[in-house]
Structure 1
Amino acid sequence: MITKEMTLDALFNPSSIAIIGATPDAKRIGGRPLAYLQKHDYQGSIYPINPNYDQIAGLKCYSGIAEVGETIELAVISLPRDLVLDEFKKCAENGVQSVIIFSAGFAEVDDEGRRIQEEMTAIAKKHNVRVLGPNCLGMFNVNKGVYATFSIIIGDQTPLKGKIGFVSQSGAFGSHVFTLAKQKQIGFSHFIATGNESDVDVADCIAYLAQDKSTKVIACYIEGAKDGNKLIHAFKLAADNNKPVVVLKVGTTNVGKQAALSHTGSLVGSDDVYNAIFEQFGVYRASTIEEFIGVAYACTELPIPKGDRVAVFTVSGGVGIMLADQLSEQSLSVLETPQVVQEKLKEILPIAGVKNPIDTTAQINSIPTLLEDFMDIVLSTGLYDSAIAFFSIHRIES
C-alpha cells in the first residue's frame, strides 16, 4: 500500500497544518500562510504556534508543537535561522510528517549554515520526516486550498486553477513565472519552490506531480540536480503516465554554474548530458520564459502530436519561411504536399503557395472558406501529424 509519506501527500495535500512562528500580522512572513489558508477556505485543521499569543485570527495559539496533541501532517517553520534546528527537532519528536522551512541562512550562506542543514537532514531521515527547504518560498496546492507560502504573488486574488504543476528551484523566478502566467489567465494545479533541497528535491516533485490527477503538464525551472538517477526516474515516471514535462534549464555556462551553486547549492553538470536525458524521455527544453509558459499551456489544451510532420498554413509567405526555419531547427519535418494535393489547391486559388508552407495570400479576406478548404484537402491526406496556422491582424477596432 502506498503511504502518505511515499507519495508526499502529507506535504502537498495535508489535512492539518501547524505554523511555527505564526503572527497576527498578515504582512509578515509568519502571518501570510495563516491569512492565505483562512481566506481560501482550507478545509483542514490549522494550528498557530507562538508562545507570545493565546489566540491568532480566531484560532487557539499554542506555545509549542507538543502542546497541540493532534496528528500534524505539515508544519511550516517561519523563524530566524538560529531557532530553526530546535523547533525542527521538536517536530520530528512529536510525529510531524512533513516540514516546510522558509528560513534562509543555511548551506547557501556559510559552513555553520551547512552544518545545521545537514543535521536537520539526518534528523529527518531518522524520523521519516519529509522536508521542503530550507531557504524556500514554500508551496501551494490550488485545488485543495493549501497555501503554505509567504509569497506576495497571491495577493488579494484567488489563484487561477489550472492543469500545470510548476516546480522551481528558485522562488523569485517561480514568482515571476506565476505572475506572467496570471496575466495571460493561465492557472496552475501546484506551485512548489524547493529552495536548498535538503530532502525533497525537484525530482521528488516531478515524480509526485506525475501521479497527481489534477496535473496534466509538469513545468520545471532547474539549475541542477543532486541525484541524477532520481531525476531520470522522475522523467520516466512522467513519460509513463503521459504527462508532458517542459523544462527551463539554466547554468549552461561556467559563470551560470557558479551562480547556481551559490544560489541553492545545486550541482550543475554537463549541459550535453542534460540534453541527452531530456531527449531520451521526451522532455521539452524551453529557451525563454515566454516559450516555457507558452509550451506548458499549449500542452494542457492540445493533444500531443504522434509524429514530427507539420503542415503550415499562412497568409504571409515571409512568416511561412520563418516558421519553416524554426520547425526545421527543432528537427520537425515540413513535408512537401503531394502533387495531387497541390493541383487541387491551385484549382481553388491559382496564386496560392501550395508546397508547404501553404500560403493562402490575402485572398483569405475575400474568400471566407479558403483556409478551411485548404486545411481539409491537406490534412485529409493523413500525411501530417500537426498543423500551424498564422493569421495577421491589420486593425483592432475599439
Structure 2
Amino acid sequence: METRTSVTGAELHAALFNPRSVALVGASDDATKTAGRPQQYLSRAQFNGVVYPINPKRTTVQEHKAYASLSELPEVPDHVFVLSPTSSVLPVVEECGRLGVKVVTILASGFSESGKEGAALETEVREAARRGGVRLVGPSSIGVVNPRNGLVLTANAAFAEPDLPKGGLFVASHSGSMIGALVSRGIARGIGFAGLVSVGSETELSLGEICAASLDDDGIEGYLLFLESLHHGDTLKAFAAEAARRGKSVVAYKLGRSDAAAEMAATHTGALAGEDDIADALLKDCGVARVGVLDALLEVSPLARRIPLRRWERSPRVGVVTTTGGGAAMAVDQLGIRDVTVQAPSAETLQRLRDKGINVSPGRVVDLTLAGVKYEVMKAALDVLLEAPEFDLVLATIGSSARFQPQLAVKPIVDSSHHTTPLAAMMVPDAPEALAVLTAAGVPCFRGPEACADAIASVFARRVPDAVKLPAQPSDSGASLSEAAAYAVLDQLGVPHAPAVTAALSGSTPQLPFDFPVVAKVCSAQIQHKTEVGGVVLGIKNPNELERAMDTLRTNLRTRAPGVECDEFLVQPMRKGLTEVLVGYKIDADAGPIVMLAAGGIWAEVTRDRSIRLAPVSLETAREMISEVKALKTVRGLRGKERGDLEALAHAVSSLSQLAMRPELKIREAEVNPLMVMPEGQGVMAVDALVLQGK
C-alpha cells in the first residue's frame, strides 16, 4: 500500500485545535460516563464545528444523529477521538488512514505500558497511522481543548465546569488529569488558556511536535509543560529553541527530582549526571524555565515574558521592598535557598530614598513598615528602586492591606509596572482580589514565598539556546578503547594528558623518556576499570621497582582477570595538581550529547557537585560550568590559597565537548577522570581516560 504523507505545521495545529468536524468513536448516550462526556462538553461549549457520534448500536447519541462507522459519515472528519476499548483502536486507525483523517486522539490505555502484547499492538497502531498519513495523539490521551472555539474534546471530568477561561497560555501535559487541574487553578487566579492537550504516551506525535505546530498561533503567548519523562528530547529542543527565538515563554514542571539517577555505565558520567539532571540541563539550555513548585507553574509566565532571555555576565540581583518585615524575610529566605542574590540598596539609592522623605535602615530589605501602605510612599520607593542600577528585578511584598484594601495596596505597583526594570509582587495574606487586579494588569504576582522564589530562580536560570546544528551521532556503544587509544582521541581534541609509554608485559623493562616516580597500569580495551583487577601500581621509584611492578600486574591479571588477554601496560610519570576534576561526555538517549564537569576524588558520587550542559559548549559556557562546581572555589585564590589554572580547565571542557561535532570519531561516551588542575599558568593534565566508541 502507498504511504500517505502526514500533515505537519499549521495544518496539524488546525486539525488538532480548530477542526471543522470531529468524530467520537464509541460515543455513549450516557453523559455521565467517560465515553459520553465529550459529546456533552462540546454541546455545552457550543463548538463551532460539526460533531459526529459513532455508535453502531444506536441511531442517536445525546439527541444527535449517530452513525454506525466513520465510513458512513457525509464527510471525512478532521479529528477523530477514539473512546472505544483498546481492542478497537487498530481497526479504527486503519479506517482513518483509508478515509484520509488528519488526526486521531486515542483515549484507551493498555499498550506498551501493559507488557509485550500491548507494546506489539502499539507498534501496529503506529505503523498503521504512518501508512495512512494519520497523526496520533496518545494512547492514554484524555483529549484536547481549545476554549476559544468551544473545542472541549476531552473525557476529563474537570471540564464539566462551564465557561472555560480564555487566554494566552498553551498547556501540554503527559498527565491527562493535570490539564483539568490547571484549568481549575487557573480559574481561581483569573488565568486563561489558548489550548490544552493531554499528549499521553507520545506513540506517534510528541509533545514537542504538538507545541511546535502551534507557534504560528498569534493567540498563544506562552507555554506550560507538565512532563513525566523526556523521551523525545530532540523535538522538545527544536520547539523550545524556536519559541525562544520568537519571544514566547516556555515553563516546565517535570517530575523526577528524587533519586532517579541513571545506572552506572562504563564511566561515572551517567551515574553522576542522572536522568533528571540531564533533563534539567536540557530544559535550561533550551531557554525553558523549570519550576519545582506547582503554584509557580501557573504564576511564572508573566515574569518569564517580562524578563528577557539573555546571558547574564554576573549573578542576577533582586531588590526587595516591603510593608511587612516578616513577609519579606520569608521571600528572602526562599530566594537564598535557591542561590538567588538578594541585593541590598547602595548608599546612593538609600540617599535618593531619603531625598524623597523615606528613611529606611541599611540592609537587604527596604522595609517601609506601615508607612508603605500609603500610595505616595510605596510609589516613591518603587520609583527610586526601579531606577537603581544594582537591581535586575524588584520584588514588592505586601502585607494585610492587600486583603483589606486591595485596590489601594496594589495601585502603586500597577502604576510602576511599565518601568524598564521588571517588577513583581508577593502577597503575604490570602488576597484574591489584589491578585486579580495585578493579574489583569499583567504584573507578575505570587500567592506565597515558595512559588515566588521558585519562579524568580527558574526564570533567571534559563540559558539562551545555542543555534549549533549537530551532525548525526553514532549509534549505541560498540566497544571501549584502551587507555592509550583514548589518549589518541584526546590528542585530536586538544585535551592535554600526561606523557605515556606503552610496552609489552612479556617483554623487558622499557626505557622511559621521563623521570621517576611513575605509575604502571594494564592497558586493554577489555579492562575498563583497572583498579578492580589490581591493574595499577603507584609510586614506582626506579627501574628495579618497575620490573617488580610488571610482575605484579602479570600475577594480578592471571588471578583476577582470567581469560582476559592483555600483554600491554602503560607507564606515566606521577603527577599531582592543586585539585582533581572529572570531565565527562556522553550521548544521552533523549537529550543527545552532554558534557559534565564534576568534583573529582572518591566523594564525587556522594556530593554530586557537578555542572551539566548540552554539548558542544563554548569557552564562555565552560567558564560558567566551572563557577557552578563548588569544590573549585578552593583553587580560586580563596583566602590566599594558590590559584589553579581554571582557564586551561575551561579550554579542556570545551574541547572535550566538541566530540558532539566530530561524528567521524564515533565516540558515544568519554571520560577524563581525574583531570589534574595545575597551578595557574601550568595548565591541566589528564592522568586517566576512558572512551567508548559507537558503531
> Scaled by the length of structure 1, what TM-score is found?
0.87
Contact 2:9 2:212 in 1 (8 A): no
Q: 1:265 maps to which residue?
A: none
Q: Which residue of 2 aligns with 1:56?
A: 61
Task: Report whether the alignment pairs 1:379 with 2:386.
Answer: yes
Distance in 1, Cα, partners of 2:134 & 2:329: 55
Contact 1:353–1:360, Cα closer than 8 Å, also in 2: no
Partner of 1:240: 245
Q: Distance in 2 between matches of 1:91 and 1:279?
A: 39
1:148 to 150, 153, 177: 153
Of 184, 192, 199 in structure 2, the residue corresponding to residue 187 of structure 1 is 192
Listed one character per residue, the Cα deviations across residues 227-262 of structure 1 (whole Å, up to 9, x for unaligned) are 22211111101111111111111123356999xxxx
Rounded to whole Å, the distance in 1 between the matches of 2:319 and 2:251 is 23
In structure 1, what is the equivalent of residue 284 of structure 2?
A: 279
Q: Which stretches in structure 1 are left out of the alignment for 5+ residues?
A: 259-267
Identity %: 26
**Correspondences of 1:108-123 after superposition (within 5 Å):** 108-123=113-128
- The one-letter code matched in structure 1 to 2:346 is P
Structure 1 CA distance, aligned partners of 2:226 and 2:317? 29
Q: Secondary structure at the match of 1:190?
A: strand
Counterpart for residue 79 of structure 2 = 74
Give the C-alpha shift of residue 220 in structure 1: 0.6
Trace 1:155-174 onto structure 2 (pairs within 5 A).
155-174=160-179
Count of paired positions: 384
Instruction: Say yes or no: does 1:389 pair with 2:396.
Output: yes
Compute the displacement of 1:318 (Å): 4.1
| TM-score, structure 2 normalization | 0.52
- 2:104 corresponds in structure 1 to 99
Query: In structure 2, how many angstroms separate the alpha carbons of the residues matched to 1:363 and 1:246?
Result: 37
Q: Does the residue aligned with 1:72 lie in a helix, a strand or coil? A: coil
Alignment of 1:123-134 (within 5 A): 123-134=128-139
- Cα pair distance change 1:286/1:338, threshold 3 Å: same
Q: CA deviation at 1:381?
A: 3.8
Q: Distance in 2 between matches of 1:247 and 1:348?
A: 42
The equivalent position to 2:319 in structure 1, one of 299, 308, 311, is 311
For 1:160, the aligned partner's letter is P
Q: 2:346, 2:390 within 8 Å by CA — same for their partners in 1?
A: no
- Match for residue 262 of structure 1? none
Measure, in 1, the Cα distance between the counterparts of 2:402 and 2:237. Answer: 48
Secondary structure of the corresponding residue to residue 223 of structure 2: strand
Distance between the aligned counterparts of 2:111 and 2:274, measured in 1? Answer: 23
In the TM superposition, residue 218 of structure 1 has moved relative to its aligned partner by: 0.5
Query: Among 20, 28, 32, which residue is 1:27 paired with?
Result: 32
Distance in 1, Cα, partners of 2:388 & 2:288: 29
**Superposed CA offset, 1:140-166 (max 9, x none):** 011121121111111141211121111
Partner of 2:368: 360
Q: Which residue of 2 aligns with 1:369?
A: 376
Tell which deviates more after alignment, 369-378 or 162-171. Answer: 369-378
Residue 101 of structure 1 deviates from its aligned partner by 0.8
Counterpart among 289, 300, 304 of residue 295 in structure 1: 300
Say which SS state the counterpart of residue 247 (structure 2) adopts. coil
SS class of match (2:212): helix
Which segments of 5 or more consecutive residues in structure 2 lack a partner in the other structure? 1-5, 264-272, 406-695
Greater mean alpha carbon deviation, residues 204-213 or residues 342-351: 342-351
Distance 2:351 2:340 in 1: 25
- Equivalent AA in structure 2 for residue 345 of structure 1: L
Tell whether the 8 Å contact from 1:107 to 1:114 is kept in structure 2 after alignment.
yes
Taking the aligned partners of 1:210 and 1:243, their CA distance within structure 2 comes to 8
The CA distance in 2 between the partners of 1:360 and 1:385, in whole Å, is 20
3-state SS of paired residue (2:24): strand
Counterpart-to-counterpart distance in 2, 1:72 and 1:121: 20
Q: Indicate the larger mover: 373-382 or 304-313.
A: 304-313
Q: 1:337 to 1:70 in 2, by over 3 A?
A: same
Q: Highest relative contact order (Cα 8 Å, sep 6+), 1 or 2?
A: 1
CA apart distance, 1:79: 0.8
Is the 1:89–1:123 contact (alpha carbons within 8 Å) kept by the matching residues of 2? Answer: yes
Give the superposition deviation at 1:119: 0.4
Q: Distance in 2 between matches of 1:390 and 1:396?
A: 13
Q: Which has the larger radius of gyration?
A: 2
